[in-house]
Chain A
Amino acid sequence: GQNIDQPTEMTATEGAIVQINCTYQTSGFNGLFWYQQHAGEAPTFLSYNVLDGLEEKGRFSSFLSRSKGYSYLLLKELQMKDSASYLCAVMDSNYQLIWGAGTKLIIKP
């Protein structure tokens, strides 16, 4: 079957760096996506990786290793507004998105 695993919850300190991991097993691979979802709101797109390596976008970076079925989202210089859930999703061979359950990130002052 298809499976996306990510930690349920993480806690970090304002100003610090946090890495959220995602491992996946899917039928084919057409890209990995990270979304941010604040409580009670809709998910919003953060990043897309289809080739191995690191994609950087401001304070957020996303890494992909296709051979290991592994990705991480790196958040630097954490701000209180970064408190949210972070969803990992993989597009399979049928261009369908398979979603992880999300990682709730709690930022403490």
Chain B
Amino acid sequence: DADVTQTPRNRITKTGKRIMLECSQTKGHDRMYWYRQDPGLGLRLIYYSFDVKDINKGEISDGYSVSRQAQAKFSLSLESAIPNQTALYFCATSAPEREAGELFFGEGSRLTVL
């Protein structure tokens, strides 16, 4: 079983719909992240959380929200999806600080907004 699991793996939805992407991990890491990846662009950080009570905006948080339900669970929501949110979304975890650059990624959630 994967250490970082994302659901759903693929989703097609319509403009204006609310979408939730879920992530769970068995790494025991406190730090969790949500990234999006678009062709020709680097990974862009949407939100990150260093523990259950700590939520931080990343580079491109507008139009997204997150919830850290437990150490092992971190979900990403699109309240009203729009076509330019079509992308590949990755959840990731890491150990603290000096080891924080070694990220463990989920398999990705491909979202298409029509």
Contact = CB atoms under 8 A, between A and B. Distances in A.
Contacts of A99: 42-44
A50 B43 CA distance: 21
Contacts of A44: 105
The 7 A-B pairs of least Cβ separation, nearest first, read A99-B42, A42-B105, A99-B43, A33-B101, A101-B42, A91-B101, A45-B102
A89 interface: yes
Given A91-B101, A95-B97, A95-B100, A42 B42 contact: no
Contacts of A31: 98, 101
Contact of B42 (A41, A91, A100): A100
Nearest to B110: A40
Interface residues of A, number: 23
A87 interface: yes
Contact of A4 (B42, B97, B108): B42
Contact of B43 (A41, A43, A48, A91): A43
Interface in A1-51: 4, 8, 30-31, 33, 35, 40-45, 48
